């Protein structure tokens, strides 16, 4: 197979659950993304989805035969809780994922529990609104270091030859303390300098193929602790990068809401350039 014909691995930012009702610029991007993937590569056979809102002590695949949207949040408009998203599951893929991880010496478990957290379904309802692509959620192990997340992604890379889309969902920057309080910024507030510096650093290190700097982001990236007081929304980035590699990686989308909540998306792998082109 021509490596440019292999599905790239994706890291997308899901931001607030309100993305589902207030798509801003990211919702239309996700719609174009799903259409571009279908057009360039064909409809994925399945989606292996990672989100920080489904977490465990070690990776767990949720191998249910069917899924539904989980409204794992509080204090939002009733219209958000009324939204549904119910794709089929991927039990057979769950077995293949566990086998790949075992062969790589990585411990993982299987659960029959159904459900897609909001980091998954709010993204997928734009990309594949008919909910007709099977989904296999993979619980994130947030206590594992970036290098371990990268290794996990690398172990799953061969699944891309089976038209399995690895979709890692998080937020390129994620400090909710900057979004709260009496002076909460407006959704369209100008981006703060610290957010811009962090995003620019990520873009530059990806373009340079600088794996070591990315893995050591806490020490190497500007304002890393401010942009990620905890790094569970950043760690899925490494799973996608490990699955696709930095060669040819591209930023597909950039946006910032509330002045510091980045909505950037990246594609990893030699096919990333073709996907970026198909988006335009």
CA angle, residues 180, 184, 190, in degrees to nearest 5: 125
- For the chain, the distance separating the N- and C-terminal CA atoms, rounded to the nearest angstrom, is 25
CA quadruple 186, 280, 4, 158: dihedral positive or negative?
positive
Over 60: is that where the pLDDT of 2 sits?
no
Residue 280: band (very low, low, confident or very high) from pLDDT cuts 50, 70, 90: confident
**Beta strands in 179-268, from DSSP E residues, in sequence order:** 250-253, 256-257, 261-262, 265-268
Q: Helices 118-127 and 26-41, interaxial angle, to 10°?
A: 60
Can you tell me the distance from the alpha carbon of 190 to that of 196, in angstroms, rounded to the nearest whole number?
A: 10
The pLDDT of residue 18 is above 70: yes
Given a cut of 80, is residue 183 above it in pLDDT?
A: no
> Would the pLDDT of 266 be above 70?
yes
* Structure confidence at residue 191 as a pLDDT band (50, 70, 90): very high
Beta-bridge partners for 164: 46
CATH assignment, 3-278 = 3.40.830.10
Q: What is the pLDDT of residue 229?
A: 97
Would you list the domain boundaries of the chain?
Answer: 3-278
Place of tokens 């950037």: 264
Residue 136 or residue 1, greater confidence: 136
When the pLDDT of each residue in the chain is averaged and rounded to a whole number, the result is 96
What are 201-226's pLDDT values in tens digits? 999 999 999 999 999 999 999 999 99
- Contact present, 167 and 12 (Cβ < 8 Å): yes
pLDDT at 98 over 60: yes
| 3 state DSSP class of 253 | strand
- pLDDT tens digit string along 41-80? 999 999 999 999 999 999 999 999 999 999 999 999 999 9
């Amino acid at each position: 197979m021509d490596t440019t014909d292999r599905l790239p691995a994706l890291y997308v930012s899901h931001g607030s659950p309100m993305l589902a009702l207030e798509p801003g610029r990211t919702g239309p991007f996700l719609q174009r993304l799903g259409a571009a993937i279908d057009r360039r590569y064909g409809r994925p056979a399945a989606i292996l989805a990672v989100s920080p809102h489904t977490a465990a002590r070690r990776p767990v695949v949720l191998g249910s035969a069917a899924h539904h949207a989980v409204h794992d949040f509080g204090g939002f408009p009733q219209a958000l809780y009324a939204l549904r998203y119910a794709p089929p599951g991927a039990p057979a893929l769950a077995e293949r994922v566990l086998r790949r991880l075992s062969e790589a010496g990585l411990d993982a478990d299987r659960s029959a529990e159904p459900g897609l957290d909001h980091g998954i379904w709010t993204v997928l309802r734009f990309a594949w609104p008919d909910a007709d692509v099977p989904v296999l959620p993979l619980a994130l192990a947030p206590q594992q270091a970036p290098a371990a997340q990268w290794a996990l992604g690398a172990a799953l890379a061969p699944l891309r030859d089976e038209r399995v889309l690895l979709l890692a969902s998080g937020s390129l920057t994620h400090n909710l303390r900057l979004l709260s309080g009496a002076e909460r910024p407006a959704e369209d507030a100008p981006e703060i300098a610290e957010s811009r510096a962090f995003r620019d650093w990520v873009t530059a290190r990806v373009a340079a193929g600088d794996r070591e700097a990315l893995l050591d982001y806490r020490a190497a990236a500007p304002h890393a602790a401010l942009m990620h007081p905890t790094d569970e929304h950043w760690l899925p980035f490494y799973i996608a990068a490990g699955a696709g590699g930095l060669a040819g990686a591209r930023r597909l989308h950039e946006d910032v809401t509330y002045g510091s909540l980045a909505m950037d998306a990246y594609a990893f792998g030699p096919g990333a350039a073709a996907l970026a082109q198909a988006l335009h």
